[in-house]
Structure 1
Amino acid sequence: MQILPMLQQLIATNSISSVNPALDQGNRAVIDLLGGWLGDLGFAVDIMPLQDSRKANLIATLGSGPGGLVLAGHTDTVPCDEARWTHNPFKLLEKDRRLYGLGTCDMKGFFPLVIEAARQFSTQTLQQPLIVLATADEESSMSGALALAAAGRPKARYALIGEPTGMKPINMHKGIMVEKLIIEGRSGHSSDPALGRNAMETMYSAMGELLSLRNELREKYHNPMFSVSYPTMNLGCIHGGNNPNRICGQCELGFEIRPLPGMDMVTLQQQIGDRILPLRERDGVAISLQHYSVPAFESGADSALVKICESLTNHTSEAVSFATEAPYLKGLGMDVVVLGPGSVEQAHQPDEYLATERIQPTVDFLVQLIGRCCL
């Protein structure tokens, strides 16, 4: 089977993951496709079911021994608004030297290229193992990566994650903290403020504290490797109240912070609490904070894989602001680089595409990388 037929099947298999249960799908059908193709090449295929029976990770291994190379990617996609696409997002379309479809860029398109490169080693005796890793829920909960971290698998010397980087090696990325702030006041008739506790007014104060913290973080932390050299905070969505003539009884804010490598997330969450929680006593309301985070990532100055990827691509390593599964694989003891054929400008967008001109250079790069790390 060749690259385009494989990609066609992957795109046709809905594997959206979302924090919204109404949109969330499983990835098991994608895992089974990849497992079948890799098994046909002689890989030992191990499927790791997750707590949600619709979802799983795949660890496929060719060869044995210490060290080796992991080629990793996630099999889920973000949700899509089909009305904003000019064609069916689940049907691969080749047009104007582009391959359109949900996941072509981020990042189902990476797997057929990995399989094509691996095919060239299927009859050779590898000195170090080649491992293809496919995960679940990177776009939502990181449950796949967390399951790997808990299991302590896989083990290898190197790991390349094929996220969309335009074939530039990425040795550093920001973390992400997704925060939910819920304020519970007491509703009442708006004609008399004393009849209730206005949660929206407390939220107004809380937002002021957050914006003040944002400015302090921007002044204190800098890293010139990033195009946005400071940690960012975005107040993303807010919901509260249900009628103009009722005191707002409940208000909820969703916001995110993208910390730089080296910033401690526990400390940062403590700072948020120290700013906001005192408003409970002042206003007589209940306040809760819910956290979800992905750590920042840095390969390290002594990364051998960074040097290999720089020499093979003729690109100097860079830093990006989006988060990946890299910190979890690094936590398993691997030397990790993020590098893939797509472009982040096309990721999470209607009419997502992968340029066809990226296909053969990526396969050639992967063949050379496997040769360096496994032969």
Structure 2
Amino acid sequence: MNTPPPLITMMSQLIASPSISSSQASWDQSNKKVIELLENWLSSLGFSCEVMAIPNRPNNVNLIATIGQGEGGLVLSGHTDTVPYDQDRWQSDPFRLEERDNKLYGLGSCDMKGFFAVVIDTLRDMDLTQLKEPLIILATADEESSMSGARALVSQQKIKARYAVIGEPTLLKPIYAHKGIMMERIQIKGQSGHSSNPSLGNNAMDAMHMVMSELMTFRQQLKKKYRDANFVIEYPTMNFGCIHGGDSANRICGKCELDFDLRALPGMSNQSLIEEIQAILPKIEEITGTTIEMRSLFEDIPSFLTSTDSDILKTCEALTQQTGDSVAFCTEGPFLNQLGIETLILGPGSIDQAHQPNEFMALDQIKPMQHILRGLVHRYCLQTVYKTQPNTNSSSINKHHEQTKIDPFNNIDEEDRA
């Protein structure tokens, strides 16, 4: 079995393997070619690879690559899918890696196929025969749409480890928290009729006006009740993103739909918020004589929080010389936390380039990321980090475990200390 090719070649091959995930069937693609590349490269480094099927997604799979033994250790995680793209807005082929102006351009370069190439290129130069705890490379499917890959890991309890880093683009800044998100649709059915006589129908658009007024009141209540100064937008947000109703100015509107999102702070329950909104609707139905239904556009994503006392955050702050922070975008972090794994988000590239035409990873992000990766592997896989056994119960996530005090830079080359 051949050893992995150079880093740029790996990135080129990963980007040249389309793996778009989307709720629209016309865009949605398999990620199996990406998984096959990663499986081949990691196997050549001595990893034992499991390709994990995902329920109801026959064309998409996860990869769990493990080297070393034990119940602790480290997970380096990323997703293999990308978002769709606007062909006419790219200056180059989205599926061909192109270097210009000290940047590597391509769909998935920073979000986040490039992370896998950086990880594998780093590991090839490390002695992985002396691991005291396991190292797991996790590659998931469908993060950009349903997060079915991460959800399957939780439902099947597939991974046991103590710590994890998800390499989403954060400009190498440790991220320990983000908001959750739910996307909902409210559909109102009234009765159409001739606009000259309002009594001939029930106007669904009028009813939607009442619904939106109640939701705006609810939004203000959330803003007053919940605050978290760790976030730039320190309160829960609700956005009315899309509305459709009626078909002609001279007809009573018989149907109206509203799509909105709600982003909750850590500690808030998505399900409780849904129930509170649903409780508003029956009274409006009674007043307007309409039928109102609410459904989720996709399964909600919980908020993410890893304790600021966690060892993984303190270690990454030391390695990056940056203080941990929160972000607005969602990740697979809450699902790994549900597996009892203390998880941090940290990776090369900027989220500002993700989901954009001409996505890129700056070349100056690569060596610092490799320094961080070497430090993490040394600390969590080559040294005995803790005395207590890891607890995979999700309630233990934010508890401070008894740990030995080990310099995360111990045994790291002088070049990496700089």
TM-score category, normalised to shorter length: over 0.9
> Cα distance 1:47–1:122, how it changes in 2: closer, same or farther (>3 A)?
farther
- Is the CA contact (8 Å cut-off) linking 1:173 and 1:296 kept in structure 2? yes
Partner of 1:91: 96
Partner of 2:150: 145
**3-state DSSP of counterpart to 2:129:** coil
1:301 positional shift: 3.2
Q: How many residues align?
A: 375
Partner of 2:338: 331
Partner of 2:134: 129
Please, which moves more after superposition, 195-204 or 6-15? 195-204
Q: 2:323 aligns with which of 316, 339, 353?
A: 316
Aligned equivalents of 2:258, 2:123: Cα separation in 1: 46
Gaps of 5+ in 1: none
Query: C-alpha offsets along residues 21-79 of structure 1, whole Å, 9 cap, x if unaligned?
Result: 22211211111111111111111010011121110111000111120100001111111
Aligned equivalents of 1:202, 1:84: Cα separation in 2: 40
Aligned equivalents of 1:251, 1:25: Cα separation in 2: 32
Amino acid at match of 2:24: N
- Compute the TM-score of the two structures, normalised by the length of structure 1: 0.97
- Is the CA contact (8 Å cut-off) linking 1:184 and 1:286 kept in structure 2? yes
> Cα distance 1:111–1:273, how it changes in 2: closer, same or farther (>3 A)?
same
Amino acid at match of 2:35: I
Amino acid at match of 2:268: M
Partner of 2:364: 357
**3-state DSSP of counterpart to 1:45:** strand
Amino acid at match of 1:341: P
Q: 1:178 aligns with which of 171, 177, 183?
A: 183
Please, which moves more after superposition, 98-107 or 192-201? 192-201
1:52 partnered with 2:75: no
- Is the CA contact (8 Å cut-off) linking 1:42 and 1:122 kept in structure 2? no
Aligned equivalents of 1:186, 1:155: Cα separation in 2: 55
- Is the CA contact (8 Å cut-off) linking 2:176 and 2:308 kept in structure 1? no
- Is the CA contact (8 Å cut-off) linking 1:235 and 1:256 kept in structure 2? yes
Please, which moves more after superposition, 184-193 or 96-105? 184-193
Partner of 1:243: 248
Q: 1:298 aligns with which of 305, 324, 328?
A: 305
Partner of 2:349: 342
Amino acid at match of 1:349: Q
Q: 2:268 aligns with which of 257, 263, 274?
A: 263
Query: C-alpha offsets along residues 104-151 of structure 1, whole Å, 9 cap, x if unaligned?
Result: 111111110111122123552211111000111111111111100001
Q: Return the structure number with greater relative CO, CA threshold 8 A, min gap 6.
A: 1
Aligned equivalents of 2:172, 2:335: Cα separation in 1: 22
Partner of 1:34: 38
- Compute the TM-score of the two structures, normalised by the length of structure 2: 0.87
Amino acid at match of 1:348: H
1:232 partnered with 2:232: no
**3-state DSSP of counterpart to 1:337:** strand
- Is the CA contact (8 Å cut-off) linking 2:105 and 2:361 kept in structure 1? yes
Aligned equivalents of 1:299, 1:8: Cα separation in 2: 34
Partner of 2:257: 252
Partner of 1:210: 215
Q: 2:107 aligns with which of 90, 102, 106?
A: 102
- Is the CA contact (8 Å cut-off) linking 1:174 and 1:323 kept in structure 2? yes
1:9 partnered with 2:13: yes
Aligned equivalents of 1:191, 1:8: Cα separation in 2: 64
**3-state DSSP of counterpart to 1:110:** helix
> Cα distance 1:36–1:268, how it changes in 2: closer, same or farther (>3 A)?
same
Aligned equivalents of 2:216, 2:167: Cα separation in 1: 35
Aligned equivalents of 1:14, 1:191: Cα separation in 2: 54
Aligned equivalents of 1:115, 1:145: Cα separation in 2: 21
Aligned equivalents of 1:191, 1:37: Cα separation in 2: 71
Aligned equivalents of 1:166, 1:157: Cα separation in 2: 24
Partner of 2:171: 166
